[in-house]
A and B are shown apart, each in its own frame.
Chain A
Amino acid sequence: MKGDLIMETDVLVVGGGNAALAAALSARDQGVKVLVIERAPKFYRGGNSRLTRDYRVMNTRENKYMTGMYPEEEFLEDLRRVAGGEINEPIARLVVRKSEELPDWLNKQGIQWQPALSGTLHLGRTNIFQLGGGKAVMNSYYQTAKAKGVDVWYDSKLEDIEMSGTKFKAAKVRRNNRIETIKAKAIIFAAGGFEANIEWHKRYWGDAAENFIIRGTPYNQGNVLEMLLNKGASQIGEPDAFHAVAVDGRAPKFDGGIVTRLDSVPFGIVVNKNGERFYDEGEDFWPKRYAIWGGLIARQPDQVAYSIIDSQTLGKFMPSVFEPVSAGTIEELAEKLGLNPTVVAKAVEDFNNAVRPGTFNPGELDDCKTEGLKPVKSHWAVRIDKPPFYAYPLKAGITFTYLSVEVNEQARIKWKDGSLCDNMFAAGEMAAGNVLRRGYLAGFGLTMGAVLGRIAGEEAANAIQRATR
């Protein structure tokens, strides 16, 4: 390692996703110099934002991208519901209100929305869908950043920061195997959570964490988050919680994104490695339940499970990337999966015997359920008896973590003693716990990232301009 280059800028943005770029562009619009340091190489720029699909936005006017109104109170109520009542009201309300500006503001940054396409699933009343998804969004953000004169460094990892008292002075950044010192008047942290850091998960999950699939970028190691917490930033959000869904067990370890998802669970039964069922597969609509299945599977032996269906239900759910394992009998299927054939056959038989007649309808909470079976299957229970039989292996796919640094409504970082930083801000996943300490509301992460990112950018620039005036 050699050299200690010094570079100066006004606002240093750490991270390269949605919140980071929203912050960088907003700061730049105030006329200050901005440098973005992204840990990933250019191809992987944008962290988990590159795998996203939609923003949840308050909506009180007709527009061609959404199907109806989504007022402030309903949005807030949705947040309270998923968080079990425990949200930071002032910040939540601020994010909700400002979310209404996002479609226009993002559009000005070159981001395009997907117009209503009849027959497709990606159009909603509460969420606005990006044309092309998250990577297209990040491409637009970076193109606009370039046009506006924001500097971007890739492959640049923040190692440490220098402070005088509680004021940020300079950052040590590893780039091309050298440490460079960047002096800046303000710094905005938007470098994501720790979801890709298996060692960190092991603190809470032990060796089970080895079997987790990380759905997003491998670069979200949480190093910046940890550094801030070590320096005394106040912590918020449940430390050991994560959002995890059931994914195909054959998914790549990292970065499989949306395509590894599997929607077969409600259409059959799910057994663990011992061939036993462990949870009601038909408790509710899958979109409302898939998020608990990650955690359920994470608690099974070896963190695997198997979704078993038959030929009647194969075509009823979204196609998935990997072909199912198939066989003419349940025993053969179990063997192919490496499970005990007699035990699995018994589980299927018990289930089949418990199924009560009903009218199967995947579009509603139908009356097909089991009786006298534990655990019960409360909807869509139809006998698994039409060969060929199919199975998908399932694993827990970790999407994001909740642990965050505490901020105020100006995105300023709070210290443990309750005091505020002058020139240090946080946004994105690193600050998401400020509204949702747990729970999940589709599209809210991006929304909060962009809103708080914009605020952080403006506040950082204002703070600099006040200081120099």
Chain B
Amino acid sequence: MQSKELLDDGKRQMRLCNACRYCEGYCAVWQSIEWRRDFTDNDMTYLANLCHDCRDCYHACPFTTPHEFGINPPKLFAQLREDTYRKYASPRIFAKVLGEKRSGFWITFFFGIILMVALILGTNGTSGLLEAKVGTGAFYKSMSEAVMIIAFLALGIWMVGGWLTGMSRFWKDIKSAKSEKIIGKDIVKGTKYALSLRYLGGEGAGCNYPTDEPSTIRRKFHHLVSYGFMLDLASTALGAFYAHILHIPAPYPVYHPVVLLGILGGIGIIIGTIGLLVLKAKSDPEISDEKAAKSGTSFIVALLVVAVTGMILLLARETAAMGILLAIHLGSVAALFFTAPYTKFAHFVYRYLALIRYAQEERIAHQPVEVKVGKQPVKTGTTVAGKH
């Protein structure tokens, strides 16, 4: 569907949902629509990034196809999110080439490996690539420390810079039209919602993913992946601290905190990503957007490749294969970083902002304006509610 058509159909669906409101207990989306009467394009983008794709509403909805109303919020929002990932990234052409297709990551990965091999050969020649190395600073006997730092600093800046660009553009679109201020409380609350993935849990019993039976398994796998990733980040940061501040160069023994964090994180990512892939395969295609499913898979696979190559490197670091394995692992990390602003990896940026915006809306909406009339709660100034 074309973007305009998609947005128009989305607005139609939201107007219908707003007249229904049966789903109001499920997630932030349904609260948000009650604070609106009309929906702008930006509202739709915001709602799409609030939706956690738990699918509760779809299964609860009596108006999904074959009903003529054809309501399908999770699919609608998945499609709109795909547009978000393209629209707010820059340059857009990168977003199209790198983000849309699974091949984007693989091609970058290939070039990443070549680049790493070149860097190794360039700094330490063929011995860096092909000979076994042991003892302190073994990795740097493959690739020189300075080169490694410069390469990954540059990639890191590229990645974070890309996210920040998307972040500021996205925020401009979804922030309060009345320019209400974000306060510390909103950020704390939004952060809580994000870290706990509150809306991927359903209320109590869990969400209707992958099938219509309530389950919390998807949230668990996601936690393994995202916290696994954070452990790996922590491991890297700690490694840098040891290497460059304490001047104790890698590799570290297996019981060393840097390695332990790395192993834990890696295992989390491997179990979590495989879990997510299995769930995805089981989920109902009627409720998924094909493009979104593919770009999601591509991101999952990228994480899996990074984690698996990292673990293999750890196991084989004292063998002659180390140089090549290092090139492969670093190549995958480079590809992940390079494509990060354009792939589904950016989801956390937009989702996080959407949740902060939601926390703000929630705070403002709950400032006391409610009066009770008879037995019907009435929202002053906006609607007079009646239930039939």
Contacts and interface: CB of A to CB of B under 8 A. Distances in A.
Interface of A: 43, 50-51, 53-54, 110, 112, 114-115, 117-126, 129, 131-136, 139, 143, 245, 252, 255, 257-259, 261, 263, 266, 285-287, 290-291, 315-321, 362-364, 399, 442
Nearest to A131: B25
8 tightest CB-CB pairs across the interface, nearest first?
A: A133-B22, A132-B60, A114-B25, A121-B385, A136-B60, A287-B386, A259-B19, A363-B373
A115 B26 CA distance: 10
A318 B22 contact: no
B20 A112 contact: no
B184 interface: no
Contacts of B68: 252
Given A136-B59, A317-B384, 11 more contacts: A50-B62, A119-B370, A120-B31, A255-B62, A257-B62, A259-B20, A315-B382, A319-B18, A319-B383, A320-B19, A362-B378
Nearest to A257: B62
A53 B25 CA distance: 12
A263 B62 contact: no
B376 A121 contact: yes
Interface in B194-229: 203-205, 212-213
A122 to B, nearest CB: 6
Nearest to A323: B15
Interface in B26-69: 26, 31, 34, 37, 56-57, 59-63, 66-69
A51 B378 contact: no
A399 B387 CA distance: 14
B67 to A, nearest CB: 7
Contacts of B63: 257, 259
B25 A258 contact: no
Nearest to B56: A132
A266 B62 CA distance: 29
B371 interface: yes
A149 B375 CA distance: 42
Majority-rule SS of B interface residues: loop
B2 interface: no
Contact of A245 (B21, B60, B382, B388): B388
B16 interface: yes
A343 B378 CA distance: 35
B3 to A, nearest CB: 22
B149 interface: no
Given A51-B62, A363-B371, A321 B383 contact: no
A465 B291 CA distance: 57
B211 to A, nearest CB: 10
Contacts of B379: 119, 121
Given A259-B20, A261-B19, A287 B57 contact: no
Contacts of B37: 315, 319
Given A115-B25, A287-B376, A287-B386, A43 B66 contact: yes
Nearest to B31: A117
B16 to A, nearest CB: 5
B231 to A, nearest CB: 34
A261 B388 contact: yes
B26 A121 contact: no
Contacts of B373: 285, 363-364
Contact of B386 (A143, A252, A318): A318
Contacts of A266: 384
A256 to B, nearest CB: 8
Contact of B387 (A119, A287, A319, A320): A287
B203 A119 contact: no
A139 B19 contact: no
Interface string B348-375: 0000000000000000011000110111
A318 B383 contact: yes
A441 B81 CA distance: 43
Contact of B59 (A122, A125, A135, A290): A135
B376 to A, nearest CB: 6
Contacts of A115: 25, 203
Contact of B26 (A131, A134, A399): A131
B24 A120 contact: yes
Nearest to B385: A121
A11 B196 CA distance: 46
Contacts of A263: 384, 386
Contacts of A317: 383-384
21 contacts: A53-B387, A110-B205, A114-B24, A120-B21, A120-B34, A121-B376, A121-B377, A122-B24, A126-B375, A133-B23, A133-B62, A139-B60, A143-B213, A252-B69, A259-B63, A286-B384, A290-B386, A290-B388, A316-B383, A362-B384, A363-B380
Contacts of B213: 143
Contacts of A126: 375
A138 B42 CA distance: 35
Contacts of A129: 25
A286 B376 CA distance: 10
Given A118-B370, A121-B376, A319-B19, A139 B59 contact: yes
Contacts of A143: 212-213
A117 B27 CA distance: 11
Contact of B16 (A135, A318, A321, A364): A321
A74 B111 CA distance: 76
Contacts of A134: 22, 62
A143 B388 CA distance: 27
A371 to B, nearest CB: 24
User: Which of B37, B59, B60, B66 lies at the interface centre, i.e. has the most chain A CB atoms within 10 A of its CB?
Assistant: B60
Contact of A285 (B20, B57, B376): B376
A303 B37 CA distance: 30
B375 A132 contact: no
Contact of A132 (B22, B365, B370): B22
User: Which of B212, B379, B385, B386 lies at the interface centre, i.e. has the most chain A CB atoms within 10 A of its CB?
Assistant: B386
A292 B12 CA distance: 29
Contacts of B67: 255
B311 to A, nearest CB: 39
A428 to B, nearest CB: 18
B162 to A, nearest CB: 37
